[in-house]
Amino acid sequence: MDILDDQAFEQLLRICSSGQVAYAAGSPSCGQYSRLKLRQDGGPRALQTPENLDGLPGLSPDDLTKLQESFIMLSRVVSCLRLVFLSGGHVHLEQPTNAMSWLEPIVRSFLKLISASCVCIAACQYGMDIAKSWIFASSFKSLCSLACSCTHPVGTHARVQGTRDSSGQFLSRITACYPPPLAEAYLLVNFPRALKTGAD
């Protein structure tokens, strides 16, 4: 389902407000909110900054569309999470630790609503040899058991900023996927009974 499609979004809102969702996780693309774009190292140029979340001056119509779609995706994900929480479920919003999306008023309001535990997770502690971390802002306190930080010297891990793979894709996009050890640890915290019984 495309959350940017109004009909799909309406269906999601109905599901999220039904009271039948026990846990909802949101991880909207942080592409335009990535601070990596603020670096002058060959990566895509930034369309916004922490001081100009609504966009830098002089953006083209295409750039403004990208920025708008990025904000709509974030705000719609947060709206779904709010509804699940207000209907009795647990939720979390995940973004890279330094993403500018954490500065958006709609996100800050959401964090206050759920009294979020902001769980910082270093990629290197779950098998990824890169300098990256995520924050899981969750209403489910048990998620705090996943928290960890990088204990390695600066420069130990591979840098992915502005680097492309053989197909020309930026490596930073590939790191959006969680490493299997993190996915397994997350499941153990949230669904231990299902994993023990072998249920889907």
Query: Within a domain: residue 168?
Result: yes
Task: Supply the pLDDT for residue 100.
Answer: 95
Helices in 20-121 by DSSP H: which ranges? 61-86, 105-113
> What SS3 state is found at 33?
helix
Q: How many domains does the chain have?
A: 1
Query: Within a domain: residue 2?
Result: no
Query: Within a domain: residue 61?
Result: yes
Per-residue pLDDT of the chain (200 residues; tens, 9 = 90+): 899 999 999 999 999 999 999 999 999 988 789 887 777 665 678 899 999 999 999 999 999 999 999 999 999 999 999 999 999 999 999 999 999 999 999 999 999 999 999 999 999 999 888 888 999 999 999 999 999 999 888 877 777 665 666 666 656 666 678 899 999 999 888 776 544 544 44
**In which domain, by residue range, is 173 found?**
23-197
pTM: 0.85
Strand pairing partners for 118?
137
Query: Within a domain: residue 6?
Result: no
Query: What does the block give as tokens for 140?
Result: 């489910």
CB 161 within 8 Å of CB 43: yes
At 85-143, the pLDDT tens digits run: 999 999 999 999 999 999 999 999 999 999 999 999 999 999 888 888 999 999 999 99
Query: Within a domain: residue 95?
Result: yes
Residues 6+ apart with CB under 8 A from 160: 130, 131, 132, 170, 171, 172, 174, 175
Query: Within a domain: residue 98?
Result: yes
Query: Within a domain: residue 10?
Result: no
Query: Within a domain: residue 4?
Result: no
Query: What Å distances lie between residue 24 and 12, 33, 83, 87, CA to CA?
Result: 11, 22, 10, 11
Give the span between the Cα atoms of 33 and 70, in whole angstroms. Answer: 8
